[in-house]
Amino acid sequence: MTKVVITQSIYDQAPQLLAEAGIPYFYHQGDTWSPAELKEQIREATVVVCLLADKMTAEVMDAAPHLKLIANVAVGYDNIDIPAATERGILVTNTPDVLTETTADLAFALILAVARRIPEADAYMRAGKYTRFALFPDMIGTDVYGKTLGIVGLGRIGTAVARRAALGFNMKVLYTADSPKPDVERELGVIHVPFPDLLPESDFISIHVPLSPRTRHLFTMNEFRQMRGNACIINTARGPIIKEADLVEALQKGLIGGAALDVFEEEPQMHPGLADMKDRLVVTPHVGSATIQTRQKMATLAVQNVIAFLTGQPPLTPVNPQVL
Ligand code: GLV
């Protein structure tokens, strides 16, 4: 019999959709399972609805011999061993598109926050340090409007960030991508450049590539040295794209102007050196898609994939459709 296991809390109307479709499910709403607990809990499962914190390795899949579908409630799927799933005939689905604009909003919020030092200013106010207006206050920032933004990866989210930058902030937008995107270039005037050129020419660099062996540690001390001394790096993609120890060193040595991070190399930890940085660093706890509207849409899309799969319809957003 079909067994659907939802590994963590998702928007409750999504499991309700399963109930309405007459599909029984087990909905775990407690802490993230350890790998051993995950293996134990999905032993009888045909379908697993999971989140980024659930590491769906080959070993975990092998503990679930009936597993046919992994529905990830996320657009990224680096928590899932896709070749292992494909080899085992397990379909994987994700939740693209529904979170594009929300994540681009956060990337832009981080650009503004690090440029204008908003968290520092907030802490300053709360500490009662604002005693007189000064033309050159302690926390003088840098402009965003009219500056150059370098986008690493002009996919859906990268393009949504480029649109905000070009149309809303009159920024010059450079981008890297495996191949040029003439449509976006025509629409927004963005310019395709090789990665080594983007580094020294950008005031802000925003990362929008998936994590892969090619992008792991794309930013190390070598890249920070090539950036402008006042440039800021923004990461709303995946933590390991930046070598965090090197970022700490680059910030400490003043090689770059600042960083704003929503993702971390060893989530949910962050490098102790980062936590010690008092300024020029903005950190948020992986909240790129965290609005009520978008999280509802993500959970719903994941469950719609489950229902489609179990009722013989084509899944809406398959990652490895070749298994079908
Ligand atoms: C979040 O990081 C996602 O991939 O959806």
Instruction: Write the DSSP string, 33-76.
Output: PPHHHHHHHTTT-SEEEE-TTS-B-HHHHHT-TT--EEEESSS-
Ligand 1 proximity of 289 Cβ (cutoff 6 Å): yes
The pLDDT assigned to 66 comes to: 97
The pLDDT assigned to 137 comes to: 87
Q: Is 187 a catalytic residue?
A: no
Ligand 1 proximity of 76 Cβ (cutoff 6 Å): yes
- Take residue 133 and report the two structure tokens written for it: 């207006």
Question: In terms of Cα–Cα distance, which of 73, 6, 68 is closest to 38?
Answer: 6
Structural domain boundaries of the chain? 4-96+292-323, 100-283
Residue nearest to atom 5 of ligand 1 (CA): 74
* Ligand 1 atom nearest to 263, measured from its CA: 2
- Alpha carbon distances (Å) from 107 to 19, 25, 319: 36, 35, 25
Specify burial of residue 84 (Cβ count, 10 A radius: 0-12, 13-18, 19+).
middle
> What dotted CATH number matches 4-96+292-323?
3.40.50.720
Ligand 1 proximity of 46 Cβ (cutoff 6 Å): no
- Give the whole-angstrom CA distance, residue 271 versus residue 143: 28
Site to substitute for ligand 1 among 289, 291, 297, most atoms within 8 A of C-beta: 289
Q: Say if residues 254 and 228 touch (Cβ distance below 8 Å).
A: no
What CATH architecture applies to the domain 100-283? 3-Layer(aba) Sandwich (3.40)
Ligand 1 proximity of 50 Cβ (cutoff 6 Å): no
The pLDDT assigned to 278 comes to: 83
Look at strands 25-27 and 4-6 and give their pairing: parallel
- Alpha carbon distances (Å) from 202 to 47, 172, 257: 45, 9, 12
- Give the whole-angstrom CA distance, residue 41 versus residue 58: 16
* Ligand 1 atom nearest to 99, measured from its CA: 5
Q: Is 164 a catalytic residue?
A: no
DSSP state of 314: P
Question: How many whole angstroms from 127 Cα to the centroid of ligand 1?
Answer: 35
Q: Say if residues 189 and 213 touch (Cβ distance below 8 Å).
A: no
Three-state SS for 210?
A: coil
Residue nearest to atom 3 of ligand 1 (CA): 74
In this chain, the answer to whether the domains covering 4-96+292-323 and 100-283 adopt an identical fold is yes
The pLDDT assigned to 238 comes to: 98
132: number of Cβ within 10 Å: 5
pLDDT per position in the chain (324 positions), as tens?
779 999 999 999 999 999 999 999 999 999 999 999 999 999 999 999 999 999 999 999 999 999 999 999 999 999 999 999 999 999 999 999 999 999 999 999 999 999 999 999 999 999 999 999 988 888 899 999 999 999 999 999 999 999 999 999 999 999 999 999 999 999 999 999 999 999 999 999 999 999 999 999 999 999 999 999 999 999 999 999 999 999 999 999 999 999 999 999 999 999 999 989 989 999 999 999 999 999 999 999 999 999 999 999 999 999 999 999
The pLDDT assigned to 1 comes to: 72
Three-state SS for 224?
A: helix
Q: Is 28 a catalytic residue?
A: no
- Take residue 298 and report the two structure tokens written for it: 């993500």
List 117, 238, 271, 295, catalytic entry: 238
Ligand 1 proximity of 96 Cβ (cutoff 6 Å): no
Residue nearest to atom 1 of ligand 1 (CA): 74
